[in-house]
């Protein structure tokens, strides 16, 4: 049963520390998305990639966030330095968009707490 | 992508049909209507999508009005496990970027 895998599931860190979240998209999917969810803002789109190339990262705070896809099986979201306001659940999603149904498959999320 | 409007919350009795409305009056001709749901603490889950025809799958039915300005998601026999936040999203054609912009959704509470 294919699924999007995210690590870590939970992370507690102190302000100023670097945080890296990883995502393994479903094999064969060509588009990967990063979302962030908080109670106040709901689900926000941070960035997304098509065939490993960044399409849009306008939703990310540029000074501290970076997203990459070093290869087709790995997407990373890095925060450096982390701040308490970055506390949220971060979701990765993948899909076969071009010529596909447009359905996105979401991972179970990485819950980040920055103290 | 067009904006959607959904009621913030709804209740439904277990075993009855749940009808969740969505308004998308500014939808354009090549935009699809997608429905996702999010059960507490889990990632969003795809339910169904459509362009202008009504659609049905094993989870739900999607009814889109002829002018495409509104739609209704129907869960035919709601169970307690259908309690979740339901998101109606309008997005570009399936061959487009595929990005989804989530609103606040409708919290559906299925009661015994």
Q: How many percent of chain A have pLDDT more than 70?
A: 97
Assess A109–B contact: CB distance below 8 Å, yes or no.
yes
Residue B92: the pLDDT is 76
**Cβ pair B95:A97 closer than 8 A:** yes
Cα-Cα-Cα-Cα torsion A51, A52, A55, A59, nearest 10 degrees, comes to: 140
Look at B44 and A100 and tell me if their CB atoms are within 8 Å. no
Residue A8: cis peptide before it, omega within 30 degrees of 0: yes
Whole-number CA gyration radius for chain B? 13
Chain B residues near residue A93 by CB distance under 8 angstroms:
43-44
Mutate one of B98, B100, B101, B103 to test the A interface: name it (highest A CB count within 10 A).
B98
Q: Tell me: pLDDT of B93 over 60.
A: no
pLDDT score of A100: 44
Per-residue pLDDT reduced to its tens digit, B14-64: 999 999 999 999 998 888 999 999 999 899 999 999 999 899 999 999 999
Average pLDDT for A18-33: 95
Average pLDDT for A67-91: 97
Contact B99 A109 (CB under 8 A): no
| Residue pLDDT, tens place only, A77-88 | 999 999 999 999
User: Which pLDDT band holds residue B99 (cuts at 50, 70, 90)?
Assistant: confident
What the block records as the tokens of A55 is 């399409």
CB contact under 8 A, B100 and A104: yes
What is the C-alpha separation between A11 and A114, in angstroms, rounded? 8
- The lowest-confidence range among A52-61, A69-78, A88-97, B77-86 is A52-61
Is a pLDDT exceeding 80 seen at residue A71?
yes
- Name the average pLDDT for chain B: 92
What does the alpha-carbon distance between residue B49 and residue B105 come to, in Å, rounded to a whole number?
16
**Least Cα separation, residue A33 to chain B (angstroms):** 8
Please tell me the number of Cα atoms within 13 Å of A64 on its side-chain side: 14
Is the minimum CB–CB distance between A110 and chain B shorter than 8 Å?
Answer: no
With b for 16 or more beta-carbon neighbours within 10 A and e for fewer, the B8-41 pattern comes to eebebeeeeebebebbbeebeeebbbbbbbbeee
Q: Is the pLDDT of residue B1 over 70?
A: no
Average pLDDT over residues A86-103: 84
B97–chain A nearest CA distance, Å: 7
Residues of A with Cβ-Cβ distance to B97 under 8 angstroms: 31, 48, 50, 55-56, 97
Task: List Cα–Cα distances, A103 to A37, A97, B32, B47, in angstroms.
Answer: 19, 7, 11, 9
What is the pLDDT at residue B91? 86
The stretch A38-65 carries a mean pLDDT of: 92
pLDDT of A99 > 60? The answer is no
> CB distance B98–A105 less than 8 Å?
no
Which residue of A30, A103, A108 is the best one to mutate when testing the B interface, meaning the one whose CB has the most B CBs within 10 A?
A103
List, in sequence order, every beta strand (DSSP E) within chain A: 5-7, 10-13, 19-24, 31-38, 42-50, 53-56, 65-71, 74-79, 88-95, 105-106, 110-114
Query: Is pLDDT larger for residue A15 or for residue B97?
Result: A15
Question: Higher model confidence: residue B21 or residue B97?
Answer: B21
Sign of CA dihedral A92, B47, B58, B108: positive
**% chain B with pLDDT above 90:** 77
Residue found under tokens 């990883």: A22
Q: What's chain A's average pLDDT?
A: 93
Report phi then psi at B10, rounded to 5.
-150, 150
Short-list A55, A84, A115, A37, CA closest to B85:
A37
């Amino acid at each position: 049963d294919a699924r999007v895998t995210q690590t870590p599931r939970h992370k507690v860190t102190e302000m100023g520390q670097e945080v890296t979240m990883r995502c393994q998209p479903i094999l064969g999917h060509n588009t990967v998305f990063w979302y962030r969810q908080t109670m106040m803002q709901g689900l926000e789109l941070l960035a997304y990639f098509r065939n490993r190339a960044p399409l849009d990262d306008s939703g990310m705070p540029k000074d501290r966030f970076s997203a990459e896809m070093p290869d087709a099986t790995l997407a990373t979201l890095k925060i450096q330095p982390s701040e308490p306001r970055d506390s949220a659940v971060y979701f990765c999603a993948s899909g076969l968009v071009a010529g596909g149904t447009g359905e996105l498959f979401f991972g179970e999320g990485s819950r980040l707490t920055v103290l | 992508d067009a904006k959607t409007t959904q009621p913030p919350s709804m209740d439904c009795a277990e075993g009855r049909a749940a009808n969740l409305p969505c308004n998308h009056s500014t939808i354009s001709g090549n935009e699809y209507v997608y429905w996702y749901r999010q059960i507490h603490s889990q990632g969003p889950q795809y339910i169904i999508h459509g362009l202008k025809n009504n659609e049905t799958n094993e989870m739900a039915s999607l009814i889109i009005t002829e002018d495409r300005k509104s739609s209704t998601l129907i869960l035919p026999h709601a169970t307690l496990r259908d309690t979740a936040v339901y998101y109606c999203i309008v997005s570009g054609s399936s061959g487009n970027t595929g990005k989804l912009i989530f609103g606040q959704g409708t919290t559906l509470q299925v009661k015994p």
